[in-house]
Structure 1
Amino acid sequence: MARATIAEASPDRRVKSSGGGRTHIFDSLRALAQPADRKLLGLDPILKVLIPALVILSLGVVAVIRIDSLKQDFIASQAEAELTLQNLAVAVAMGINNHAANNPLGDAGEILSEVLPKGALRQGRRFYLTEADGKVVGFAARQASQTQPATLDAEIGTNQPLTILGASAGVLRLHPTEDSDILATVHHLDAPYASLAVVQPHKDALAAWRSKRTQDVLIFIAMTLLSLVLVYSFFAQSARAHEADEIYANAYKRQEMALVHGRSGLWDWDVTSGTLVWSSSMSALLGYTSSDGRKDFRFSMDELNELMHPDDPSLYELQAQLLASPDTGFDTQLRLRHRSGEWLWLRLRGELVESEAGARQLMGIATDITEQKLLAENTRLADIRLRDAIETTSEAFVLWDNRNHIVMCNSNYRNLHKLSVDDVTPGTPYEVISAKSNPDIISTTPLPDDTSAPGARTYQITLADNRWLQISERRTGDGGFVSVGTDITDLKRHQEKLIEDEKQQAILIRDLSAHRQKMQTLASELVILADQHAREKEKAEAANNAKSEFLANMSHELRTPLNAIIGFSEIMRSGIFGKLGSDKYVEYCDDIHESGTFLLAVINDILQMSKIEAGRFQLDFEQVPLHDIVRESIRVVSVEVMNKDLQVTINGDDEINMDADRRSMKQIMLNLLTNAVKFTPEGGKISINMKASDYMMQLSITDTGIGIPEDALKKLGMPFEQVQNQFSKNHNGSGLGLAITRSLVEIHQGRMMIESCEGKGTTVTIMMPLVQMAELDENAELSA
């Protein structure tokens, strides 16, 4: 139907053109729709196959060579390890035989250590010196964690030919257990020893070979990666070259065909055949390319109608409208579906032409106007959003044009001036609106304006409902002005509150000034008190030094006669020069000896306490096994323990070693044990618990003795303090034992804690560092 209409249209409405001109235009569009063939270089396909093959072949050859080399190196490394093991065994065996001949009674371990060559223990090698019954009497290894086995069979396994054949068996690879793999050789020795065994883990013997193997693997991986990078670079470069050729060809065609339209395309509609041809730029605009299965961009009218929006007129309708119009040119807008499914707005402009041969063509250009359409829609939405924003704002807003006619306002402005919607119709003059407005304004106060814009002003109004508004008016660029009224009621009330706060601050400042004067007076008094305290401190230190000197002199003067008293009483009660006669004399001598010994112990405690307080007590730090100190102290009090039938138990780690002064540690332990034994009734229990963390040692002594009252715990451990209750009145003491113990613990950088329940027992806990801080600082300086 459409084709009949076109055929019957008046020839006068069509633009005629020469056959050559029409053919030239049609051929040009045909050339635009048919891109030139892209030719690849002839060698590219061959190189793309040949280069990866050569790389793979090269890597394979390198891999075969390196694997063969690693096998040869493995054999050589194992032979070298066996030869080294054999030579070391021969050298050490000769040394042991010579040493045994000169000193047959020497220690086996020392002999083995002396004859070992330098570096013999490297790479995990271990040496075993055995007797005739297979017992290991000498052992040497580099790792301190390895311990000496009882017999050689435990190391290399039972019924081994090595132990029978000796050196003639050479070096054998053994598997004494499922997870062990060793190289071993045994050499027989002269008496008094039977044999020397040298053992080396197989993995340690081949450590150098494994390291080389790892290096070879890493090098091969690096070569492989480098080869892959080179192959990738070749393909990438080839792809870039092809892409550059294609870009150049397209740019050349577009330049020749004068297609330099942005977002546009040329099209040629053959009305007679009903086909449409368009340029590649038009196809790209719609998302179609030559790779979609078309040799050229030709579409039938039915195919093109499927791309058109259903709300827009079809191609047949456009043809009919154009042919029915006296004008041969046309300009219309429609939507076509992009290949992705989106709709594009296109502006079609063209003209109907006819060649001398009678062929009718619609030719023209299509321009993408989607962005303009979107911009128009976004502008419309922005206007709506702007009106909504102005309407929802809390300020009263109004905009006037350069003729003082209203453009727009919000409801807050209408409510303020008591205007209806009809009163503020856009275009209404300012004078008309002012005559209708009736705001409840009590007063108006002009405010200084920070801007220098002409026509700008700011003023404040007070409303009848006790609200304040600040009105700001500014001129617009086109000569109009905008007025914004902001509710400043909260701000005004806040200002009034600030004024009141300033008054309160002034009162507070006066109070602070008076307080500051008082504090300055107190500071002066504190300075005076500090001076007095310093003077009193100097007096106290002088008195303490005098006390220490007096105690030292007194102790020296008292110990001299006490030694004579103790000595003579010992001679008299032992009857060295004969019997005293009466048994009472012996009893008196015992009392004299016991009292003198007790007094001497008290004097020694006083002297030691004075040294500690004066800071003259010297410590000799060394590695002290805590378990030995505990057992030595228990032996000292063992007689009293047995007499009272006490049960003493030791719990905890037996391998605690610490930096400490041995004499002080023993005194600490004796003082605590003596107190525990002294105050524990017969048949009681004493428990000693030891444990250590990474840096600290903790020792606790718990007894089931008489306990300590809670009010006495605070002063316990102070010099000359004793706890007296119904259970402890018969126990003598100077009261310095715990004080000395606490002081010795503290100078070891530790602390002592006492927990007790009266009538149930006491627990004394001391915590001391395993390594003294002075030693840590020294080690840090050495390592730095």
Structure 2
Amino acid sequence: MNPIVREQQNNRTISALVLLMLYVLCHPAISMGAVQGFQQVPSNSTVIPGWVYLLGGLMLLAIISLWAFSRKRQQKKDQIISKQAALLKQQEEELNEMKIFKRSVMKLIAHDLKKPLDVIIGMSENYRLKKSGLVMRSVMSNILDIERMKQAELKPVFQVIQLSALVEGIQQYLEPILKTNKQHVEISIAEELQVKGDPFLLFRTLENLLSEVAEYSPSGSVIKIQATRTGRTAGITIRSNLKGTSKKQLNAIIENTDTAGDTGSSDSSLELGLSYCKRALHLHERDISLESTEEGETVLRFSLPVNEELSNDAKPIETQQPVLCQ
């Protein structure tokens, strides 16, 4: 209740009690009762003894005293609550300022590191150095893009995409990671299969999935990417034998996209990557799931809408490094 309204109600209640006490004490019968004092009043008399009125007055006085004490106590509680509310509001404002500062710093760092990373990735002939540049670039892009998704600033632009060409472009883009890990990618996608989606978001989604699977798969392993059409949907799967992380951990990361990357755990890059993938697929009204096979493989699975009519305007995203979001 509003403190002002409560104060007004308390004042009205106390005023009513005071008036009632004055009425009782000033009743005409009190004069007769006062003369008789505390003498025994005959049973046939209609005069009310004075001590009854005195007792009633004392009771009302006690009630008013208790009410005043309760009122004062409530006022102290209200003051404490008001101070706590003001403190919480101040802390909330400081937290919002810190979040804004954090976003500004991340954007500044990403902008300043963009060109050096491009030089490292483009000019270095050392696959390990290129791999480090790709991983760092992907983490920075994920941080910025996830923030834009939270602010509803990143919206999909749907196009017809040739899926096989898109996946082959991602494989070529991640070649430094795959070669460093001595891994091989098997692609099983019909050349004529076309899907509808945002080329940039899908490129980054598959890039994140393939790079994270490569990171947590044994050296020399085979990563399988398959796409199967069922009606109007293309089911896409990525299979591998993951190491260093369990299905339970991956499921927890996929389910908790809102806090991904904020836990400070050693798997923060994995959390960010999977969080980006789930958010990007949500923009396509799709989701990602995880399952295990009897052979011990881990399968990441999602789907995309199929383009019903074959189109010559299918636009696989270019295989060059995707632009880092500003």
Specify the TM-score bucket, using the shorter chain as the normaliser: 0.5 to 0.7
Q: Please name the residue that 1:611 is paired with.
A: 148
Q: How much does 1:630 deviate?
A: 1.1
Structure 2 CA distance for aligned equivalents of residues 554 and 734 of structure 1: 22
Distance verdict in 2 for CA 1:618–1:684, change over 3 Å? same
From 717, 720, 723, the counterpart of 2:261: 720
Q: How much does 1:607 deviate?
A: 1.1
Structure 2 CA distance for aligned equivalents of residues 569 and 554 of structure 1: 22
Q: Please name the residue that 2:64 is paired with.
A: none
Structure with a larger share of its residues in helix: 2
Q: Which structure has the greater CA radius of gyration?
A: 1
Compute the TM-score of the two structures, normalised by the length of structure 1.
0.24
SS at match of 2:148: helix
Q: Equivalent residues in 2 for 1:497-646 (5 A)? A: 549-563=100-114, 601-646=138-183
Q: How much does 1:655 deviate?
A: 2.1
CA contact (8 A) 1:625 1:658 kept: yes
Q: How much does 1:658 deviate?
A: 1.7
Distance verdict in 2 for CA 1:710–1:669, change over 3 Å? closer
SS at match of 1:733: helix
Structure 2 CA distance for aligned equivalents of residues 688 and 641 of structure 1: 14
Structure 2 CA distance for aligned equivalents of residues 638 and 569 of structure 1: 15
CA contact (8 A) 1:707 1:759 kept: no
From 746, 751, 774, the counterpart of 2:287: 751
CA contact (8 A) 1:708 1:723 kept: no
Q: Which runs of 5+ in 2 are unaligned?
A: 1-89, 309-326
Q: How much does 1:615 deviate?
A: 1.0
Kindly provide the amino acid, as one letter, of the partner of residue 742 in structure 1.
K
Listed one character per residue, the Cα deviations across residues 92-115 of structure 1 (whole Å, up to 9, x for unaligned) are xxxxxxxxxxxxxxxxxxxxxxxx
Q: Equivalent residues in 2 for 1:356-367 (5 A)? A: none
Listed one character per residue, the Cα deviations across residues 1-60 of structure 1 (whole Å, up to 9, x for unaligned) are xxxxxxxxxxxxxxxxxxxxxxxxxxxxxxxxxxxxxxxxxxxxxxxxxxxxxxxxxxxx
SS at match of 2:234: strand
From 301, 319, 324, the counterpart of 1:765: 301
SS at match of 1:654: coil
Q: Please name the residue that 1:738 is paired with.
A: 274
Listed one character per residue, the Cα deviations across residues 147-172 of structure 1 (whole Å, up to 9, x for unaligned) are xxxxxxxxxxxxxxxxxxxxxxxxxx
Q: How much does 1:612 deviate?
A: 0.6
Structure 1 CA distance for aligned equivalents of residues 264 and 224 of structure 2: 22
Distance verdict in 2 for CA 1:758–1:543, change over 3 Å? farther
Q: Please name the residue that 1:680 is paired with.
A: 217
From 199, 212, 215, the counterpart of 1:662: 199
Structure 2 CA distance for aligned equivalents of residues 650 and 723 of structure 1: 35
SS at match of 1:700: strand
CA contact (8 A) 2:160 2:196 kept: yes
Distance verdict in 2 for CA 1:597–1:635, change over 3 Å? closer
Q: Please name the residue that 1:702 is paired with.
A: 239
From 638, 644, 650, the counterpart of 2:187: 650
SS at match of 2:243: coil
Q: How much does 1:562 deviate?
A: 3.4
Q: How much does 1:594 deviate?
A: 8.7
Number of matched pairs: 210
Q: Please name the residue that 1:690 is paired with.
A: 227
Distance verdict in 2 for CA 1:553–1:694, change over 3 Å? same
Distance verdict in 2 for CA 1:623–1:568, change over 3 Å? closer
Structure 1 CA distance for aligned equivalents of residues 263 and 144 of structure 2: 18
Q: How much does 1:670 deviate?
A: 0.8
Distance verdict in 2 for CA 1:770–1:707, change over 3 Å? farther
Q: How much does 1:705 deviate?
A: 2.4
Q: How much does 1:770 deviate?
A: 2.8
Distance verdict in 2 for CA 1:693–1:564, change over 3 Å? closer
Q: Please name the residue that 2:77 is paired with.
A: none
Identical positions, percent: 17
Q: How much does 1:652 deviate?
A: 4.5
Listed one character per residue, the Cα deviations across residues 504-532 of structure 1 (whole Å, up to 9, x for unaligned) are xxxxxxxxxxxxxxxxxxxxxxxxxxxxx
Calculate the aligned-residue CA RMSD, in Å: 4.2
CA contact (8 A) 1:697 1:769 kept: yes
Q: How much does 1:566 deviate?
A: 5.7
CA contact (8 A) 1:645 1:684 kept: yes
Q: Equivalent residues in 2 for 1:183-194 (5 A)? A: none
Distance verdict in 2 for CA 1:569–1:710, change over 3 Å? closer
Distance verdict in 2 for CA 1:734–1:762, change over 3 Å? closer
Listed one character per residue, the Cα deviations across residues 361-401 of structure 1 (whole Å, up to 9, x for unaligned) are xxxxxxxxxxxxxxxxxxxxxxxxxxxxxxxxxxxxxxxxx
Structure with a larger share of its residues in strand: 1
Structure 2 CA distance for aligned equivalents of residues 691 and 737 of structure 1: 24
CA contact (8 A) 2:185 2:225 kept: yes
Q: Equivalent residues in 2 for 1:57-96 (5 A)? A: none
Distance verdict in 2 for CA 1:720–1:710, change over 3 Å? same
Q: Equivalent residues in 2 for 1:213-228 (5 A)? A: none
RCO greater where, 1 or 2, for CA within 8 Å and sep 6 or more?
Answer: 2
Structure 2 CA distance for aligned equivalents of residues 544 and 614 of structure 1: 17
Structure 2 CA distance for aligned equivalents of residues 621 and 627 of structure 1: 17
Structure 1 CA distance for aligned equivalents of residues 206 and 119 of structure 2: 32
Q: Equivalent residues in 2 for 1:192-591 (5 A)? A: 549-563=100-114
CA contact (8 A) 1:551 1:610 kept: no
Is 1:671 aligned to 2:208, yes or no? yes
Compute the TM-score of the two structures, normalised by the length of structure 2.
0.53
Structure 1 CA distance for aligned equivalents of residues 251 and 157 of structure 2: 31
SS at match of 1:749: coil
SS at match of 1:736: helix
Distance verdict in 2 for CA 1:656–1:643, change over 3 Å? same
Distance verdict in 2 for CA 1:564–1:707, change over 3 Å? closer
Kindly provide the amino acid, as one letter, of the partner of residue 768 in structure 1.
L
Structure 1 CA distance for aligned equivalents of residues 232 and 300 of structure 2: 20
Q: Please name the residue that 2:74 is paired with.
A: none
Structure 1 CA distance for aligned equivalents of residues 119 and 178 of structure 2: 30
CA contact (8 A) 1:751 1:768 kept: no
Kindly provide the amino acid, as one letter, of the partner of residue 197 in structure 2.
A
